[in-house]
Amino acid sequence: MKIRIILAASLKTFTDRTPEVALEADTVSGALQALTDEYPEAARGLFDENGDLRGFVNIYVNDRDIRTLKGIGTPLHDGDEIFLIPAIAGGACESVISTERMKAVTIEEKEIRRYSNHLQLKEISIKGQKRIMASRVLVAGIGALGGVVAERLAAAGVGTIGLADAQEVTLEGLQTQTIHSTRDLERPRAAAAKDRLKKLNPLVTTVAHQEQLTGDNVEEIIADYDIVVDATDNFVSRYLISDACVLNGKPEVFGAMYQYEGVVTVLGTKDGPCLRCLYPSPPPAGIVPTCAASGVVNTLPGIIGAMIATEVLKLITGGGEPLIGKVLAMDSWNLRYHTLHTGKDSGCPVCGRSPVIRAVQDIDYDDFCGLREDPDEEPIDLIEPEELARRISDGDRITIVDVREPHERAVHRFPGTLIIPIGQLARRQKELDPEIDTIFVCMEGKRSILAIRTLREAGYTGPMYSLKGGFETAAQIIFPNEGAWL
């Protein structure tokens, strides 16, 4: 059977950037085998050390999750398409805003004029707009995606918008984080966004939560809101928020981006899945780069953010067909949309029939996401940027391996390095000299650690070091005059 495998951008690092692979196979299992035969590095991204499919990868045949079919044994037919969608992370429903709360809201003349576009829509009209004005929505992560969501919701007239973020506005963020301006540099993102929303719509109440969501505070923070939007950029926050929403009965609108692709779904409703249903486990630390490390086309947050905001309005008004049990996957660069059907996992430890997770405080999310060091694992040696700069200046005999993506190297060059993508390290280890130090460089210092562990598993025994903080931290020290920058 002739079929096509379509890969999400974050998996293309294992297939030499190939987005689609045409091959012949009778089953999903056979297709995966054919894919890994052609691209051996893809096996690391798709399967764990026991040969089992990794929990952070979802597979769809056309638009159906193989878990609702026959798993990897699902038969294929000519022309079928297989979608490999990793964590980056239907039907009408009732409004999350009660009739009593809706009736308690009055619309004044100035509000009639401001919200006239909604009032003219029969799907929203006066009752829907009053529900919007009565609603309380928390946006977690006020970067590129969360900023767009917050602006759309403020303009729509959402009564109270919470802004949860512990980071500051940075220069490199301004290209995609349009809620912030140059004047906001080094200000807390939550505070800067609050000021922006006040200017956009002074009728809306905004609350800035300038703190990192943790197991100790997340339930207290989300308690005051009807809906939670997850626009964060790390797996610890994503699983924490999803678990907290399920345990506290809060619907969650989830959105994620990578380069030019994005996904949107609704999680945590009574009949729909949670994040653990979709992705029982996160990817190993460092295997999926963040948007900060991999880039994102600056138009994408506007598209995905608007979709997220629309899902929020559906939940508030009780109209339309929310993405409950559905994942909308979009490739903005090639203008492709796919609505992929998924479902609740009866064995889910949080929302299944016999849940075993009953409090977020019971979970070590750093450990769950592979960020806590295993005491039994051989430690990774780090090298300080200053030490590397000295060794380069002294002409020491060392090998520097750059494991960054091509687009990262295009912006920040590192002359004199050996360029080897992580997926090729095992088969190219003979290019390294085990008699001298090998130093690995990535953008943030996480993938370089993964690179060292990959080579250890492949049997390489030479001395290896990870550049502490990655190129992002070390560039001004190693290249003080920015001579290696674009």
Q: What is the rounded CA–CA span in Å between residue 218 and residue 166? A: 13
Of the candidates 291, 348, 351, 369, the residue annotated as catalytic is 291
Where does 281-395 have alpha helices with state H?
A: 291-294, 300-317, 365-368, 385-394
Distances (CA, A) of 155 to 159, 204, 222, 280, 450: 10, 9, 22, 36, 43
Angle at 430 between CA 427 and CA 436, to 5 degrees: 135
Q: Is the dihedral of CA 365, 258, 171, 140 positive or negative?
A: negative
Angle subtended by helix axes 144-156 and 189-200, to nearest 10: 30
Angle subtended by helix axes 470-478 and 385-394, to nearest 10: 50
Please choose, from the candidates 344, 254, 300, 316, the residue with its C-alpha nearest in 3D space to the C-alpha of residue 144: 300
**Residue 328 tokens, joined:** 């909308």
Distances (CA, A) of 217 to 150, 157, 162, 186: 21, 27, 14, 25
- The residue behind tokens 């529900």 is 131
DSSP state of 353: S
Whole-angstrom Cα Rg for the chain? 24
First-to-last alpha carbon distance for the chain, in angstroms, is 47
Give 65: exposed, middle or buried? Use CB within 10 Å, 0-12, 13-18, 19+: buried
**Alpha carbon 332 to chain centroid, angstroms:** 16
Q: What is the rounded CA–CA span in Å between residue 252 and residue 412? A: 37
For 408, phi and psi rounded to 5 degrees? -70, -40
Spell out a b/e string for 234-251, using b for 16 or more CB atoms within 10 Å of the CB, else e.
bbbbbbbbbbbbbbeebb
Q: Which helix (H) or strand (E) holds 409?
A: helix 406-411
Q: Is 369 a catalytic residue?
A: no
Which residues lie below 8 Å from residue 136, measured CB to CB, with a gap of 6+?
158, 159, 160, 161, 162, 224, 225, 226, 227
Are 278 and 327 in contact, with CB atoms under 8 Å apart?
Answer: yes
Pairing of strands 205-209, 160-164: parallel
**Residue 478 tokens, joined:** 């190693």
Q: Is 291 a catalytic residue?
A: yes
Q: Mind telling me the catalytic residues?
A: 291, 442
